[in-house]
Structure 1
């Protein structure tokens, strides 16, 4: 059926596939469809199946030619994709390139363009230098953990009297007002809670609400600099109306043996808890240091080995990020878009912000996968079992529970790939240079790499 085919490489991992279908195949497809139309068509003056071909062609010729062309394209592409290496990605369907012209008894020519998986030849995996920060775990890090444990075990109670103080947990209703004092549509929110002094609120009103009473309402005018966390507020002046609907205060427990025993029965004394905290922080430090070194290594690999990403692959990654983002808000897409609109943001502006990170991740994955393939790195069943046991121990689960979870969610291959990537990174770090970096405190290190 296929007389010839030609694959032309284009930019950004796109190809143009040109196909010529033999005239005999084109005629056969057309005749077959004409026969089907003859059996089903109802034409005045003729019994079903008895209308002359010329009459059918006059009435249905254009439709038959379009349908014949579509069927030949589908059948041809299905056959060709099984024969060539340049297979289309699943993210976007091939697109016709140029006008279609189908004439029975003549060769049928068509062309499609589509994205393919990027080709990468990793030539440079050496000559890389990464820095390893020298991280120290001091008393301040342990004290911060103990403070968090106190917070988690605090008794929270509502204040019926008094005013808002630092560390109180308050619930507010708020909205933005325009220059006439009218509420801006879409800017209001009810029952929003935060801890005063934490800074975990959009408008950074921690200091403004200090001293407010229960059910009191105030309007604040806030001017924001260019260094504000939310870019949409940079350089803006906002009039914010706030009503305090709840005030709660926390009664922190004493740091003593009793608190340690409340945290976990395996601790007899506060010192036991402190030792365990230090051990956990050391593990976290090592994990974070490995991530820092890995990120620096992979970043340089990407710089040394260019990868042309097809747009459909990047778009699929951005769409996956969007779905994860929506899930953080309970899966309500309309609510998310409404919140974004209140901040003068849209899905498109988010995608533009996310794009550099998405492209970097995809390039990293492609290069690492190629190196794993080239170096024939494998993950044995024993290594998978060890990883499952490790995850089980970390999460106080049985190995069977962890294995069932991964199998039910079709994530066993993910474990194997993760093991392969770790083995590859270990080899690359051994082959390249890891030099000592600056000294840094644990808390500063964790915060800068959050």
Structure 2
């Protein structure tokens, strides 16, 4: 397509006007396509529907009726080409002003475009970060071992005269009342609840402690102000309960037999050594993550950027779509989630706003550092990354490459990931 940029001029910090022209031949072709589309629905005496000759159509209706459809056909491709020629990166939909468009003419278009902002980098090498200890202690190993012990506990009946303790599992009938009236969803028979789980309204579980099997009790609580059922939010309530049964976790002995039962190890010492090794691997990864996040955060803090609102809004939409997809994977319809939690699409977007702004700001700064340092992804690095993906997906490398290139012919996303990783490594290696 014959597209020529006449002028690109900034009118604000991140907004400019892009003026470009499209050749007469391209305009004619767009008008031809528009006519073929429009004429299908045209009926005229003496002609079958959709078979009206072009000259008669234009005499009757005027060529101008084709202009909007022709522009819809022409503009997307012409605008994209003009953007590439002007070497700018739009971050929002443009505002289009058609200066000239007509049969037998070149088209002249002005587009008001919001573009990616320029980043004024501050210090990003030799950054000082607070040291943090990730050493694995003996207490952490014992705590992890205790968690394993609890997860393999046997549930036994506590006995008729045993008072409920924190961690016990109770079975109860209950019925809830607000202002003396039973409310919907506030009743259950033989409901199972682990004391200390925090699943019930604050204060409910604590009031069950000390109760014995067969006892009846009234529990007084107040629904949270942010409770998902608006009619109950902030309301005091009384629950009448009958305790049917109490069960307790019986912990297995921590010995060699325990290690054999739950693992491939023959002794408790071997199991502890394995726990220690896994905690150490996690600590090393946590340390790496902490250092990366710390230096990135400081580099971002030291940079100056005036970011267009559109970039934040676009990122919020990305986060929102990711959230909906995760719900779908769990088999939870979004409408059901909203109804259950009392949230709304707008309130969720507000929650995502801070994360979206941080992601946009961080991405821009890392991209600017990558450019400033001339960091590139080599062919060897791309091949290594493709091999990793292929191994993970249990596919041939050529097949993986073919799939990725079908979506991204230049493998730009993969290369950008490599460049970003190298940029973060540069920040970390120079940090103090």
Aligned to 1:330: 331
* TM-score normalised by L of structure 2: 0.72
After superposition, residues 17-416 of structure 1 pair within 5 angstroms as 17-21=18-22, 26=27, 29-30=30-31, 33=34, 41-45=42-46, 48-49=51-52, 53=56, 56-59=58-61, 61=63, 63-88=65-90, 94-98=93-97, 102-105=101-104, 108-113=107-112, 116-120=115-119, 122=121, 124-126=123-125, 128-157=127-156, 164-169=164-169, 178-179=178-179, 181-183=181-183, 195-199=194-198, 203=202, 205-210=204-209, 211=211, 219-222=219-222, 236=234, 238-239=236-237, 241=239, 248-265=247-264, 267-307=265-305, 308=307, 310-323=311-324, 326-327=327-328, 329-341=330-342, 345-372=343-370, 374-376=373-375, 378=377, 400=391, 404=395
Contact kept, 8 Å, 1:23 with 1:105, in 2: the verdict is yes
| Deviation for aligned residue 1:352 | 1.4
TM value normalised by structure 1 = 0.70
| Contact 2:172/2:190 (<8 A) preserved | yes
2:408 aligned residue: none
CA contact (8 A) 1:318 1:355 kept: no
* Residue 27 of structure 1: how far off its partner (Å): 5.9
1:310-332 CA distance string (max 9 Å, x none): 23532333224423552575342
What is the CA–CA distance in structure 1 between the aligned matches of 2:17 and 2:203, rounded to whole Å? 53
Structure of greater relative contact order (alpha carbons < 8 Å, 6+ residues apart)? 1
Distance 1:2 1:262, change over 3 A: same
The 1:41–1:404 alpha-carbon spacing in structure 2 relative to 1, beyond 3 Å, is closer
Shift of 1:41: 4.1
**Whole-Å separation in 1 of the counterparts to 2:386 and 2:172:** 46
Structure 1 residues 50 and 207, CA gap change in structure 2 (3 angstroms): closer
Q: CA deviation at 1:86?
A: 2.1
**Contact 1:115/1:312, CA 8 A, preserved across alignment:** no
Is the 1:379–1:420 Cα contact (8 Å) retained in structure 2?
Answer: no
Kept in 2: contact 1:13–1:115 (CA 8 A): yes
Task: Measure, in 1, the Cα distance between the counterparts of 2:252 and 2:345.
Answer: 44
Any stretches of 5+ residues in structure 1 without a counterpart? 392-398, 434-450
Q: Secondary structure at the match of 2:132?
A: strand
- Structure 2: distance between partners of 1:256 and 1:324: 45
SS of structure 2 residue aligned to 1:207: helix
Query: Which ranges of structure 2 fall in alignment gaps of 5 or more residues?
Result: 406-410
Q: 1:23 to 1:328 in 2, by over 3 A?
A: closer
- In 2: Cα distance, 1:179 partner to 1:65 partner: 68
Report the Cα distance in structure 2 between the residues aligned to 1:10 and 1:192, rounded to whole angstroms.
66
Q: CA RMSD in A?
A: 4.9
